[in-house]
Chain A
Amino acid sequence: MPSTIINGVEIELDEDGFMIDPDLWNEDVARALAASEGIDELTEDHWKIINYLRDYFKQYHIAPMVRKLCKETGCSLKYIYDLFPSGPAKGACKLAGLPKPTGCV
């Protein structure tokens, strides 16, 4: 199982680079995951999306509908792809420490 050490804590990742234990998430982990996705710097808009996803996940234990994510953050899907090149599910959710979405997605 791949893993990475961040601030002295070992973070386990699955084959696709998603966190195994979302409770270990912190902003430094997000930055490290961003680097693995080829994102140089996390801007205010990146954080807005990451924080929305985290809050939603805390409450509902699932990622929000993509349309709701766009609406609530005021970011178009295209803009989300600009921010997170692998998209809302495989990019943004990964940085927010959510599990990889499964099913027909």
Chain B
Amino acid sequence: MPEYKGMVQPVRATPEEMRKIHIEPVPDEQKPQKALEYLDQIRKKFRSFVMAMESCTKCGQCAENCHTYLGTRDPNNIPTNRAELIRKIYKRYFTLEGRWFGKLVGAEDISLDVIEQWYSYFYQCSQCRRCAHVCPFGIDTCEVTFIGRQILHWLGITPKLHASVGAAMEKVGNHTGLPKPGIVDTLEFMSEEIMDEFGVEVEFPVDKPDSDIMYIPSSADFLLNPYTLMGAGMFFTYIGANWTIPSTVTEAGNFGLLFDQYWTQRGNVMRLLNAAQELGVKKIVWGECGHGWRAAKMYIPSLADRPVRWPITHIHDEIADLIRKNELKLDPSKNSKPVTLHDPCNYVRACGLNENMRTIIRAVTTDFREMTPHGADNFCCGGGSAILFDDPEMYQRRILLSKKKAEQVRATGVGKNGDGILCAPCSICKAQLYPMVEEHELGVEVKGLVDLVGKALVWK
């Protein structure tokens, strides 16, 4: 279903696929009533949501700050209007003025059409929090999107992409459905590649008991991002770490955050804690994944069903720390092409990884150029929250959603001679930008940050 009454929508999971992730789809005629019930449940739990419902003054600040509106000029992609898709229902059923005056105060009856609107517009939002960053009242439309997607999920409406990832997480512990033999084979291949290109011996231990560090890579690295995997392996080898990758949870991401913050998100957290305990590790180090790091840093403590006994850090924290202590010998001339940094929104606006990325990139490249704006003010790549849909209608939307980012990259001039690097240290950003830099003809190659570190390491 690519369109509903003129609105683009991602292909949705079949009822059978929904059952695999433990959801019994609600029949259409019951959906409106059920949606109200779920909304009522949720509003009683989340004050951030109630605040978004009650305190928007329609000042309009957020409009020009959302890349989805800038790219599509679709009024429903203005953050406050996106939230309004739920607010009008909230008003109608949960406020006095809405119950009495209805349409006069912008309230609307719940209907299937409204639910279909939710599906279209909550899956164009990338949950990037740029609207929250500029709202004078601190309203975070991302939280509204989270709740909208949760209600849709309980109704049985989830994109096929997200649902199939949820099923893969439960089956094998990662998004791409990588089983252990595939993990080991790919890592052996990475060792050979490192030997060929850098002449150093690097091993990738899998499920090694009594390791100090458990490294959690993104499973997308195993298909698409070889240098991110290689860079991590080289870094851990360089510092002489006793490290391992767990085959039961080879996944830095957690799509639960993006469509089901209950069962799906919690399941992945438990797998992680089990693996840490079984392998007897002392610390957990996270790989390059924006939403995954947000899920790890901000949500594990509240989702865990037992005390979390391990410090959890990001690989960028580890690398930046050693750079500051002067313990890594790096040769920035190994990365001498012009490079710019795309800040993954989740890092800079949801969990405080900002300066560390810059500490690293300045140490490993010679021609670094910042985008305008950057850091906490950055614009999303347009793929955030894994809206990486590839049916033709949604793919066209992705091109529009990345328009702002393309303008920013172009303005840095890094791709002028066709040999620039766009560093985007997040698997979703990478997956979005690989095709988008071609669509917008930016003259850059997309790389992770750990990729550049691997290349710059000077071995004794």
Please list the residues of chain A having a beta carbon within 8 angstroms of any beta carbon in chain B. Answer: 15-16, 59-68, 89-90, 99-105
Complexed CA–CA distance, A16 and B13 (Å): 12
Contact call B165/A102, Cβ cutoff below 8 A: yes
Interface size class of B (residues with CB under 8 A): 35 or more
Contact call B179/A60, Cβ cutoff below 8 A: yes
Q: Which of B168, B179, B218, B222 contacts A102 (CB 8 A)?
A: B168
Contact call B391/A65, Cβ cutoff below 8 A: no
Q: Give 15 CB contacts A-B under 8 Å.
A: A60-B179, A61-B177, A62-B177, A64-B185, A65-B186, A102-B165, A102-B168, A103-B165, A103-B177, A103-B220, A103-B253, A104-B218, A104-B289, A104-B430, A105-B224
Contact call A103/B391, Cβ cutoff below 8 A: no
Contact call B177/A66, Cβ cutoff below 8 A: no
Contact call B186/A104, Cβ cutoff below 8 A: no
Given contacts A16-B391, A62-B177, A67-B193, contact A105 B223 (CB under 8 A): yes
Complexed CA–CA distance, A64 and B184 (Å): 12
Q: Which residue of B lies closest to A72 (CB)?
A: B189
Determine if B70 is an interface residue (Cβ-Cβ < 8 Å).
no
Most chain B CB within 10 A, of A16, A61, A104, A105, is at A104
Determine if B388 is an interface residue (Cβ-Cβ < 8 Å).
yes
Query: Is chain A's binding surface mostly helix, strand, loop or mixed?
Result: loop
Using an 8 Å CB-CB cutoff, how does the interface string of B366-395 with A read, 1 for contact, 0 for none? 000000000000000000001010110000
Determine if B175 is an interface residue (Cβ-Cβ < 8 Å).
yes
Q: How far is the CB of B443 from chain A (nearest CB, A)?
A: 16
Chain A residues within 8 Å of B224, by CB: 65-66, 105
Q: How far is the CB of A18 from chain B (nearest CB, A)?
A: 11
Complexed CA–CA distance, A68 and B192 (Å): 11
Determine if B240 is an interface residue (Cβ-Cβ < 8 Å).
no
Q: How far is the CB of B268 from chain A (nearest CB, A)?
A: 13
Determine if B178 is an interface residue (Cβ-Cβ < 8 Å).
yes
Contact call B185/A60, Cβ cutoff below 8 A: yes
Contact call A62/B391, Cβ cutoff below 8 A: no
Chain B residues within 8 Å of A101, by CB: 176, 223
Determine if B134 is an interface residue (Cβ-Cβ < 8 Å).
no
Determine if B174 is an interface residue (Cβ-Cβ < 8 Å).
yes
Q: How far is the CB of A89 from chain B (nearest CB, A)?
A: 7
Chain B residues within 8 Å of A59, by CB: 181
Given contacts A16-B391, A67-B226, A89-B223, contact A62 B176 (CB under 8 A): yes
Q: How far is the CB of B253 from chain A (nearest CB, A)?
A: 7
Contact call B11/A15, Cβ cutoff below 8 A: yes
Chain B residues within 8 Å of A90, by CB: 390
Determine if B353 is an interface residue (Cβ-Cβ < 8 Å).
no
Chain B residues within 8 Å of A62, by CB: 176-179, 182
Please list the residues of chain B having a beta carbon within 8 angstroms of any beta carbon in chain A. Answer: 11, 160-161, 164-165, 168, 174-179, 181-182, 185-186, 189, 193, 218-220, 222-224, 226, 253, 289, 386, 388, 390-391, 427-428, 430-431
Given contacts A90-B390, A104-B253, A104-B431, contact A60 B222 (CB under 8 A): no
Complexed CA–CA distance, A67 and B451 (Å): 15
Complexed CA–CA distance, A62 and B219 (Å): 12
Contact call A65/B189, Cβ cutoff below 8 A: yes
Complexed CA–CA distance, A104 and B217 (Å): 13
Complexed CA–CA distance, A66 and B221 (Å): 10
Q: Which of B174, B175, B176, B189 contacts A68 (CB 8 A)?
A: B189
Contact call A102/B161, Cβ cutoff below 8 A: yes
Q: How far is the CB of A56 from chain B (nearest CB, A)?
A: 9
Q: How far is the CB of B97 from chain A (nearest CB, A)?
A: 44
Shortest Cβ-Cβ A-B pairs, 3 listed:
A103-B175, A103-B176, A62-B182
Given A16-B390, A65-B189, A66-B224, list of 6 further CB < 8 A pairs? Answer: A15-B11, A62-B179, A101-B176, A103-B174, A103-B220, A103-B253
Chain B residues within 8 Å of A103, by CB: 165, 168, 174-177, 219-220, 223, 253, 427
Complexed CA–CA distance, A93 and B17 (Å): 21
Q: Which residue of B lies closest to A1 (CB)?
A: B14
Contact call A104/B220, Cβ cutoff below 8 A: yes
Chain B residues within 8 Å of A102, by CB: 161, 164-165, 168, 175-177
Contact call A104/B189, Cβ cutoff below 8 A: no
Chain A residues within 8 Å of B168, by CB: 102-103
Chain A residues within 8 Å of B386, by CB: 104
Given contacts A66-B224, A90-B390, contact A60 B182 (CB under 8 A): yes
Given contacts A15-B11, A61-B179, A90-B390, contact A105 B189 (CB under 8 A): no
Chain A residues within 8 Å of B178, by CB: 62
Q: How far is the CB of B184 from chain A (nearest CB, A)?
A: 9
Q: Which residue of A lies closest to B162 (CB)?
A: A102
